[in-house]
Amino acid sequence: MSKPVPSLGKVATAVKPWHRKARSLGISETQESKAYVAQIRREWASDARCLLRALLRECSYLPDAQARDFYRRHIMLRFKRYQYLRPASLSESRILSKLKEARHELRLLRRAADGHERSLLQVLLHAYGRKGKRYHHFLTEVLTTAAPGSSAEETPSEPLQPSWIPEHMERIPSAQDVFKYRISPRFARLNALVQSQVEVGPRTRRPLRRATFSTPASNVWKRTMPVKRQMNQFKKEHTDFLSRIFLPVPESDWERLRDLASGRLQPERKRPRRVPAQSYIAPEERASDSNVERNSTEPALSDTTTPSPNVSLWTPSLLIDTMHDTLRLRPIAPLYPGDRQEGHHITPRFMRRIYRRIWAICPMMVWDAESQTWDVKWGEQPVPKHAISSSRTAPSMDWSAMFEGVDEKGKRPRRSAASPANSAVEGSSSR
């Protein structure tokens, strides 16, 4: 049984439409499709190699050592995952979507290296585990790590718990017509982290206000909610609950962020982009080339003369200068709405401001052997521009002399012409 022929319409925009020439030469539809698909996959492989080199090149321009190392390992891991897969096992739509994701990441890294604040913040959030794959690694570590000398499996789970509830969650009785959920007491580390974030956590757009969440127990007809509906509502609320939790980072990362945000450790400077390699030309050859161009019989381009179509007006030096100017002046399309076309200058002050925002949402957890509890430390909260710090106090000054002779409404009272003060002033002036 022959394999189905891939459709040409889905990928017609990916390569050049050379199938018309194949049809004109009398090539059959099956042969044309096979050759067409082979050409497509060769071009996809070439695009993937070019994207890999471009991504690794942009990683070297990031102004943070940990971000460079994280993205380099992450990119190599993602590309190696598809290295030994057979081309026939991947669909056309999946290959095109993965190439599109790689181009999006390349655009993000390029804008981050050029100093765009939102893109650079996104890159650093992934590098320090506030988003992405490292965030899920920290989440798995928190859910599986118990207190020293104890285990999460020592205490049995609460009875009468539905089987679809995760191990780290439990349903508690509620007086209202809702199902209430909380973190199981067996997971002391996650409980301590959530309680600390609710009490003294950072101020964000989506803060964690409570250590519990609830779902309705009955529908609009006051009937018991179906089990399938309970599962879907729990999954939605549980995902939102976990996304609001800021997971702890290792002690080395927390101390490094503290030093970078406070200025103890100077941030890295922006790395200049490498100039494309050019072939070496000896001075003697340059002089001979210039003499040849000067003594060339090609007509000069003026406003009155019309160049002949057979005459070449492009010299190698003019072509190279035009290409460099085009690449240099090409604007980068904004990745987020409202972004600036040109990036910010990457200065130590600019980087400290970004590190301060990241350090504020990075907790660190240390086990206290004396109290047998988890100690949670948070980074310093950045003060908003419109807020005034409570530690600043106004200087003690006597303002009575400045407002002397002014009433409660801020106006100076009028004085009559025959007042004693005026007569005294007139008498002193006459003397």
Residue range 301-310, pLDDT digits in tens: 444 444 444 4
Contact 72, 52 (CB under 8 A): no
331-380: per-residue pLDDT in tens? 455 555 555 567 788 999 999 999 999 999 999 999 888 888 899 999 88
State the pLDDT at residue 41.
74
Question: How would residue 219 be classed by pLDDT, with cut points 50, 70 and 90?
Answer: confident
**CA of residue 358 relative to chain centroid, distance:** 11
State the pLDDT at residue 215.
92
Q: Is 121 helix (H, G, I), strand (E, B) or coil?
A: helix
The contacts of residue 258 (CB under 8 Å, 6+ apart) are 264, 359, 379
Question: How would residue 103 be classed by pLDDT, with cut points 50, 70 and 90?
Answer: very high
Contact 181, 169 (CB under 8 A): yes
Question: How would residue 124 be classed by pLDDT, with cut points 50, 70 and 90?
Answer: very high
State the pLDDT at residue 408.
76
Give domain limits for the chain: 1-113, 119-151+164-272+341-382
State the pLDDT at residue 21.
47
State the pLDDT at residue 270.
80
Between CA 419 and CA 431 the distance in angstroms is 19
372-404: per-residue pLDDT in tens? 889 999 988 665 544 444 444 455 556 666 677
272 vs 295, higher pLDDT? 272
Stated pTM of the model: 0.66
Q: How many C-beta atoms surround the C-beta of residue 230 within 10 A?
A: 19
Strand partners, 376: 365
State the pLDDT at residue 39.
73
Of 13-17, 19-23, 135-139, 179-183, least confident by mean pLDDT is 13-17
State the pLDDT at residue 128.
94
Which candidate, 377, 360, 359, places its Cα nearest to that of 368?
A: 377
134-144: per-residue pLDDT in tens? 999 999 888 88
Q: Is the dihedral of CA 206, 209, 211, 214 positive or negative?
A: negative
Which element (helix H / strand E) includes 194? helix 188-200
226-263: per-residue pLDDT in tens? 999 999 999 999 999 999 999 999 999 999 999 999 98
Between CA 359 and CA 378 the distance in angstroms is 8
- Residue 179 reports pLDDT greater than 70: yes
Contact 361, 379 (CB under 8 A): yes
Contact 365, 189 (CB under 8 A): yes
- Residue 28 reports pLDDT greater than 90: no
Contact 380, 360 (CB under 8 A): yes
